[in-house]
Each structure stands twice: as C-alpha cells, then as structure tokens.
Amino acid sequence: MNKWREIQRMPRSEQRAMQDHLLRRYVSEYLQPFSAFYRELFARAGVSPDQIRTVDDLRRLPLTSKIDLLPSKEDPQRFKKFILQPDPASLKAAWPLHKKLPLLWQKWTKGTAAVKQRLRTEFYPSFMTFTTGRSAEPVPFFYTPHDLANLRETGARLVDVMGLHSEFRVANVFPYAPHLAFWQVFSAGQATGMMVLSTGGGKVMGSSGDLRAIARLRAEALIGVPGYIYHLLRRGAAEGIDLSSIKIVVLGAERVPPGMKLKIRSLLAQMGAKDVRVFGTYGFTEARMAFAECPTQDNEYTGYHLYPDLAIFEVVDPKTGEVVPDGCDGELVFSPLQARASCVFRYRTGDLVRGGIRYEPCPHCGRTVPRISSDLTRESSLKDLQLLKIKGTLVNLEDCAMLLGSMPEIEEWQIELRKKDDDPLEVDELVVHLALRDDEQREAAATKVRETFKGRLEVAPNRVEFLGLEAMLRKIGMETEMKEKRFVDARPKP
C-alpha cells in the first residue's frame, strides 16, 4: 500500500518508465522462461524476450485470446500451459545473478528446505477460480500465495479508490462461488480490517434473510451484482426495512445501465439512506484483480482507476488487432506485470470500451493512474447470444439490456427469442417480457419500448408481454440462478 500511495500520484512519464522496467523483467525472468504457451509463442513469432523493452514493444507480440485457453481434443488440459512452472534448470538459466544470490544465501544459511518453501510461496498454486459462461467450458485460473497477496493488495486499493476505510461495515452479497468478484471483496476485508459480512447472495439466505442481516449489521456499504442489489433494495423498501446506515453501494461483475445508479439511490432514500454513493467496478477472472470508480458528488461515471505497476492495458481495433490512438473506442487487451500461476499476456478480454483509456489526471480525485472509460460492454454478458440477427437486423443484446435497465417504469425484464408458431423454418420473433412499477402504465410502456427499440436498435419487438413482479422474478430465477436469465433463446433447434 505504501507503494500505491506513491504510484497513484506519479507523473505519467515516471509511470511509463516503471512499466518499461517491470515489463522487461517480467517477460525475460518469468513469462518466456516459465510459461510453456508463451515460450512457444515467442519462438513462433520470432521474438526474443530482450526485444520487449518498452510498453510500445508489446505490439511485436501476437495477441492471445479465449480460444487459446479452451481445451482441445489434442490437449484437454490446455490451461496448464499458461501456468508458470519453473524447475531448477530453467530458474538457473533465466534468473540473473542478483536474483539467484539471495536464494543461494538462503540455502547456505537456512538450508534447502527454506529455499524450497520460498519458491513454493512464489510459484505453487494454492487457490483457484473459474471463468464463467454457459457455452464455453469454464477455465480454471490458479493463484499462488504471491498472487493471493496481490489480491489483498488490489482489495486494499479498491477500498482506497472508493473512499472506504477500515471502520466500514460491509455487506458482500456476491454469490458464494469460485469467481473473482466474491474473493476480491473478501480479500479487501482481510487486507484492510473492514468488517465484511458475506451473505452468499439470494441463493443462500434468500433476499429477506440478507436484508435482516444487513439491517442488523447496520452495514454502511453494500456490494454485489446490479440486478440482485436492485432486487434486494426493492424488497427492502416494500418491507419497510431501515437501511439508513448505507452510505455506499458497489456494483460489480456487470456493466451498469445508465439509469441504474439513480434507481438505486431513490430506493435507498425511501429506506432512510441519504446521499448514497454508487460505484461501478471492472474486473475479470483472467486479470485476478478488479478496478473501481472514485467518488463524486453526482455519482458520475469516472472510469475504472488502473494499477500501472500490476498490469498494462491496451485498446485495440477488435477487427485488426492493431492498437488504436489514446481515447479511441476498441477492445481491451490485458498484460500482467507481477502475476504468477496462471498467466495470460496481451490477452484480448473481449470487452469493448467506448472512449478507450484516459491518461490525464482524474478530474475528481486527482489520481494520475490511467482510467478505463466506464462505458464498457462486457464480453461475459454477451458470450452466449452476442450479436443476433433478428428479422434481418444485427442486434446487440447488451444494448437491449442497457435500454430496458435504464427505464424507470420497468422493474424487471426478460427478452425471449422465438420462431413464429414454433416452426424452425419460420421467421424470428422478439418478445419482451416486462414487470412494471405501475400496471396502469402497460400501454404507455409497451409503446415506449417499441419506439425505443425501433429508434435505437432498428428492430421492434413482435410482442411486449406483461407479468406480475413475483412471477417475473421466478421467470428470471432471481434467487435461484447464479445469474439472472435475461435472454432466453427459445427458438427450436433446426
């Protein structure tokens, strides 16, 4: 954290020099010698580690993508090729004398066992999470004790960026799962000494159980996925629960629709909580860390504040893979600088960002670290049904989610794709299911959804259907599914 205090205000040129240094060291002393995948990739690309000397040299290396991680027939355990696995010979060959000497010294003074223990702490996996997504096989990502220390460090940095502190009482309602989000919050608590109650989300204690626990704890911060937090607060408001202690809401694991921060604030105001700050965060399994927005008076989307000593982000044209100019739209590419165990490098996240990365100091907190624009489309939310051709038009379902999630009159929604008369040879039908705040508004809401879809997505739903809130919550599996079912493809398989 001492280092973080320094880095977050470092001039851009110093940050860049630090990254050049860390990058050189990481590529030549860790990635190339100890990663089977990247050793082959360097060889195939005809790049030697000493050609990667600055951040700009990164583009000499080919990009890696999700497909490279997936099991194949020839190699069902492909993920293992991404784990840094040194042995005595490769350590001896790859490490410069100044790195080997301390080990030798330790061997002389404390014996071989001590050296082994030290290398274990750095290189032996002791923890894992998985990538999520229903269509692709989940890919395990491993952590060594060194990586777990970094997970606590990034936890402490998140707490710092969001302006929380060790006296905070936090309710973590991310599902208990081997997923980054839950463990990042858990680690933040461990690192800072905050009181963290992890309820496991709706599946474990139910939303009523969660609400009672949060009220009893007098929690000041509430952390979870936007859909579940909204559901929880709506139920709390309906049941007249006192949540006046809440000061901060942190939304993770999904993109936050533009109107969502406002909706959350107005629900909390009904339960007595005034002047609540709502933050978005960004993280993904492969990074094994998350980033946050900083506080502003009006809950602006300030961008995700990065840690330049832990990772380098680039923005590339998703079609050509070429790096785009600063501030331009594109796909985020990730390279770690301190990672052990599972390492991906120049890794295409699949996440598309409008407005790219900003390098000028943050106008709100003054930190000089780069910031990823908050206008991010998560790959994970579109993995299964990304761009769908509906009635001849390509529709991005994430855009549908943003439109519906932002309308104040809509409580819950689901989009369903069908074939007319369930006939596989017939045309597609787009059905929007809605639960409204006020059922008298059905006609007006249907018209608004039709017109917004037509205007923004060039495709109007064939039908808008209505359901009561409870029936809708069951339909989307709010407290029973790991992730709400927002998109259903009910088209019969041809």
- Interacting residues toward Zn ion by CB under 5 A: 294, 302, 362, 364-365
Q: Residue 432 — left, alpha, or beta (φ > 0 → left; ψ -120 to 50 → alpha)?
A: beta
Helix locations, 46-111, DSSP H:
66-69, 88-94, 97-110
Nearer to Zn ion, 12 or 53 (CB): 12
Q: Give min distance, CB of 365 to Zn ion, in A.
A: 3
| Min separation Cβ 293 and Zn ion, Å | 7
Is the Cβ of residue 132 or residue 302 nearer to Zn ion in the bound state?
Answer: 302
What are the φ/ψ torsions at residue 454 (nearest 5 degrees)? -60, -45
Nearer to Zn ion, 179 or 277 (CB): 277
Amino acid at 154: T
Q: Return left, alpha or beta for 100; rule: phi > 0 is left, psi -120 to 50 is alpha, else beta.
A: alpha
Closer of 253 and 294 to Zn ion (Cβ): 294
- State in angstroms the smallest separation of the CB of 366 from Zn ion: 7
Closest approach of Zn ion to the CB of residue 306, in Å: 11
Q: Read off the tokens for 254.
A: 């999904």
Q: Which is nearer to Zn ion, 191 or 362 (CB)?
A: 362
Cβ proximity to Zn ion: between 66 and 305 the closer is: 305
SS3 256: coil
Note whether 177 and 483 are within 8 A (CB). no
Residue 422 neighbours by CB distance under 10 Å: 11
Instruction: For the CB of residue 302, give the shortest distance to Zn ion in the complex, in Å.
Output: 5
Give 9 or 474: the residue with its C-beta nearer to Zn ion.
9
| Shortest spacing between CB 169 and Zn ion, in angstroms | 24
CB 277 within 8 A of CB 300: no
The alpha carbon of 311 is separated from its chain's Cα centroid by a whole number of angstroms, namely 15
Q: Which two tokens stand for residue 456?
A: 């923004």
- In the complex, what is the shortest distance from the CB of residue 299 to Zn ion, in angstroms, rounded to a whole number? 13
Nearest approach in angstroms of CB 305 to Zn ion is: 6
Q: Are 283 and 274 in contact (CB under 8 A)?
A: no
Residue with smaller CB distance to Zn ion, 233 or 365: 365
Cα 473 from Cα 356, distance rounded (Å): 35
Nearest to 248 by CA among 214, 289, 282, 213: 214
| Residue appearing with tokens 């044209």 | 317
